[in-house]
Amino acid sequence: MESDGAKLRAGLGHPVIDADGHWLEYGPVVGEAMRRIGGDAALRAMRINGDRVGQALRMSPAERRRENIAQEAFWGAPTKNTRDRATAMMPKLLYERLDEFGIDFSILFPTMGLGLPRVNDTEARVAACRAFNVYQAELFDPLADRMTPAAVIPMHHPEEAIAELEHAVGELGLKAVMLNSMIDRPVAKVAEDRPDATDLAVWYDCIGLDSAYDYDPVWRKCEELSVSPTFHRGSRGRAFRMSPSNFCYNHIGHFAAASEAVCKAIFLGGVTRRFPGLNFAFLEGGVGFACLLYADLIGHWHIRNRAALEDVNPANLDRDELVALAERFAPPQMAAAIRAGDGIGARNGASTTGGIADIDDYSACGIASEQDFGRLFVEPFFFGCEADDSNNAWAFNRDCNPLGAEIKTLFGSDIGHFDVQDMSQVVTEAYELVEDGRIDEAGFRRFVFENPVHFWGKTNPRFFAGTRVAEAAGAVLHDG
């Protein structure tokens, strides 16, 4: 019997590209591959990555509270639907079922492999990312006409990122890349004064702004290798997502929070201005946060750009007028304090700005007018959206978004993880936006087809060559 997904796909008239599917690594097999390819160091990274979750789940809520450790995910993969569980574990079976799902081509991200670039052991991290990418290239090469894996790229230092980009893309031929972000680094004062406590006080490097290093060479390498950076990092177990007893408390919104931090840093750091040839994608966090961020960035620019700041520059305060008004309307104590100059800011505004070189927070972006936000935010940024997220419609609401913009969405099935209870329903579930009248057919086409083509095809026009969607994708790129 033909599935609902297959029936829907047959009537669409265009392909469906899954921009964020997942495969579920089988520990005994991938562990042996890591040891074979990367040696003991790569295997050590795999164990470090797995031990973090395992250790948390072996603790009681009281023990986690004492150590400020978040409740981790348990029962995180399909089990009742055994065929779906096997599909997540076996890429060949996934390949066979894509037509059933209504998906023509899928970019697949790992599960265990998501954590390898985050391991805070340089030797192990670098060895593991290299070994894992070799393993992925071998595993998925026979299936390349329907799916492609995302290379995992460590980012603790630009040099290690560049080295693995050159290896994964330049040597192995992988076309999609997942860069690490929100890297936890020691706080300098703590490291100097209390070196025994450096793991207890960290700051999160969001790469694009105020980073420990200059990452422009990494973006330049991405341009050189024709790859679009994607980010798939969460913030569970950090800051306000630290419940020792409730996983859902920690999980809800954590991808959106991490994506917002990195997206905002890349924008305000001027990366999209300096590298106009690149696209950037932030996966699994939805698009609701992006609509808010876009509007907020424009709103803040109107009141905090260099010219607007003159309205709040302390040097522009007419102190004589303020004193005169205080003498007429203020209580005697307040009038006396104002005459003395207390509590109304320094006469020299520069002394109150924290010593920054340029008081315009948008200086790196080079914003001349609000229209520049289209070129620097709307055009290069894409946001991964799962099928069941009703907020996806917000991206298409041009009446709501500033300047009549449509924020770019990427359909992500998230198959292989606990929140997808039936893989065969992901495309039909996404199509409910059309059935409910929240987006039109043309918007759905952009969501599941044209936007993914533009995201990967802008930097690499041959990304879809040799795939099932090559002809249709080529037509989209040709038409611009």
Residue 410 sits in a domain whose CATH number is: 3.20.20.140
The CA dihedral of 130, 226, 106, 464, to the nearest 10 degrees, is: -130
Final residue of a domain: which of 352, 381, 409? 352
Pairwise CA distance, residues 375 & 343, whole Å: 42
**Is position 106 within any domain?**
yes
Residues 212 and 138 in one domain: yes
User: Token pair for residue 154?
Assistant: 């460590």
Residue-wise pLDDT tens digits, 152-161: 999 999 999 9
DSSP annotation of 270: T
Residues 400 and 423 in one domain: yes
DSSP E strands in 330-407: the ranges are: 381-386
Residues 296 and 312 in one domain: no
**Is position 283 within any domain?**
yes
pLDDT at 467 over 70: yes
Please check whether residue 144 is in contact with residue 262, taking contact to mean a CB–CB distance below 8 angstroms. no
Report the number of distinct structural domains present in the chain. Answer: 2
Identify the pLDDT of residue 480: 75
Question: What does pTM read for this prediction?
Answer: 0.95
**Least confident range of 66-75, 279-288, 289-298, 395-404:** 66-75
Identify the pLDDT of residue 345: 65
- Residue 67 contacts by C-beta under 8 Å, 6 or more apart in sequence? 59
Residue-wise pLDDT tens digits, 48-77: 998 888 899 999 999 999 999 999 988 888
Instruction: Look at the block and give the residue holding tokens 């026979």.
Output: 142
pLDDT band at 2 (very low <50, low <70, confident <90, very high): confident
Identify the pLDDT of residue 61: 94
Residues 204 and 321 in one domain: no
Identify the pLDDT of residue 210: 96
pLDDT at 443 over 80: yes
Residues 294 and 333 in one domain: no
Identify the pLDDT of residue 351: 63
Residues 271 and 348 in one domain: no
Pairwise CA distance, residues 297 & 392, whole Å: 20
Pairwise CA distance, residues 141 & 402, whole Å: 43
**Is position 161 within any domain?**
yes
Identify the pLDDT of residue 401: 97
**Is position 269 within any domain?**
yes
Identify the pLDDT of residue 199: 82
Which class for 333: exposed (0-12), middle (13-18), buried (19 or more C-beta within 10 A)? exposed
Helix (H, G, I), strand (E, B) or coil at 265: helix
pLDDT at 348 over 60: no
Final residue of a domain: which of 286, 317, 352? 352
pLDDT at 168 over 80: yes
Residues 116 and 255 in one domain: yes
Domain containing 229 equals 4-303+370-479
Residue-wise pLDDT tens digits, 100-113: 999 999 999 999 99
Residues 295 and 317 in one domain: no
Pairwise CA distance, residues 395 & 253, whole Å: 17
User: Token pair for residue 278?
Assistant: 């690149």
**Is position 365 within any domain?**
no
DSSP annotation of 350: G
Residues 18 and 141 in one domain: yes
Please check whether residue 52 is in contact with residue 112, taking contact to mean a CB–CB distance below 8 angstroms. no
**Is position 40 within any domain?**
yes
Residues 293 and 317 in one domain: no
pLDDT at 135 over 60: yes
Residues 53 and 120 in one domain: yes
In the chain, pLDDT over 70 holds for what percent of residues?
99
Backbone φ and ψ of 150, nearest 5°: -95, 125
**Is position 322 within any domain?**
yes
Residue-wise pLDDT tens digits, 219-267: 999 999 999 999 999 999 888 999 999 999 999 999 999 999 999 999 9
Residues 123 and 266 in one domain: yes
Pairwise CA distance, residues 130 & 122, whole Å: 12
Final residue of a domain: which of 352, 385, 417? 352
Question: For the residues of 414-448, what is the DSSP string, one character each?
Answer: -TTSTT-S-GGGHHHHHHHHHHTTSS-HHHHHIII
**Is position 403 within any domain?**
yes
